[in-house]
Amino acid sequence: MTEDDHEKERDGEEKGENGPGTGMGKGEDTGFRGDHCEENIDDCPGNLCQNGATCMDRVNEYSCLCPPAFTGTQCELDVDECSVRPSLCHNGATCTNSHGSYSCICVNGWTGPDCSVNIDDCAGAACFNGATCIDRVGSFYCQCTYGKTGLLCHLDDACTSNPCHEGAICDTSPINGSFTCSCATGYKGLDCSEDIDECTQGSPCEHDGICVNTPGSFAAKFNAYTVCDASKLDLQGTKAKVERHWTHCSVPQRYLSRTVAKFYAHRGTLVCIAKQERRRKPGRQQRKKL
């Protein structure tokens, strides 16, 4: 064997060629090492995982276990939580994505990370005179005790003195505590004490019917052949009712004493008509027909 042949043999042993079962070169290429290729080589040193991801060693490779806010092979991509989970924010809040996170911009009256907590507006409220504070969304309401009014129950209720006329409804202004009277039918004025003269505004009777004003209403005085609106009358025998007041279908003085007057229905109206009663003369006999 020449000197060149010995040199080639030594080079082959150093490189593992033709050596008895070392397998070092091949094992390192497949992710294992050791005399029997029993040890898995840790591929995580020098890994490229980003954003706090955890490197997971595998055979001849590694993978990145991403935090919830990131994705991608190396966890390099941010997850848009607002698009993936549109119900993260509650009660009309606006979801805003950020790098690795998100935030909820709450509407008035709500707080918390997801805007699910109602702010107690009564905590800083100032209800006066023993009023009870009732919390609402973004506001509060003061439930006043008797005799008090206003947004904070700080005003005297003008309606407690009953300034409105009987039958009217009293309303109190929450701004200044003043009162307003809603009048019943037939009355007007600041305190609804002024009677409205309906007869100056028109009468339910036609054809010489006489309208008589009454407190809070009106009545009709009927003459013979006076026609009245049936919808405004309540017929009962020889008298009719206009609003709350009864009136009689009376006989004028120019009629005979045996003339009677009654109400009659005529084409949807009531007519007060005077009619003369027929009486037989004493001693007169009826003739028999032949």
Q: What is the pTM (predicted TM-score) of this model?
A: 0.47
- What is the mean pLDDT of the segment spanning 64-93? 93
User: Is 71 exposed, middle or buried (CB count within 10 Å of its CB: 0-12, 13-18, 19+)?
Assistant: middle
**CA–CA gap between residue 173 and residue 179 (Å, rounded):** 6
pLDDT digits (tens, 9 = 90+) for 89-131: 999 999 999 999 999 999 999 999 999 999 999 998 889 999 9
Supply 279's token pair.
């009486």
pLDDT digits (tens, 9 = 90+) for 259-290: 445 555 444 455 555 444 444 444 444 444 43
For the chain, what percentages of helix, strand and coil (3-state, to nearest 5) are there?
10, 35, 55
Q: Which domains does the chain have, with CATH numbers?
A: 38-78 (2.10.25.10), 81-118 (2.10.25.10), 120-156 (2.10.25.10), 159-221 (2.10.25.10)
How far is residue 181 from each of residues 104, 188, 215, 237, measured CA to CA in Å?
A: 49, 9, 18, 39
Instruction: Locate all alpha helices (DSSP H) within 67-164, ordered by sequence.
Output: 81-84
- What is the mean pLDDT of the segment spanning 183-206? 80
Q: From the CA atom positions of the chain, what is the Rg in Å?
A: 53
Contact 221, 209 (CB under 8 A): yes
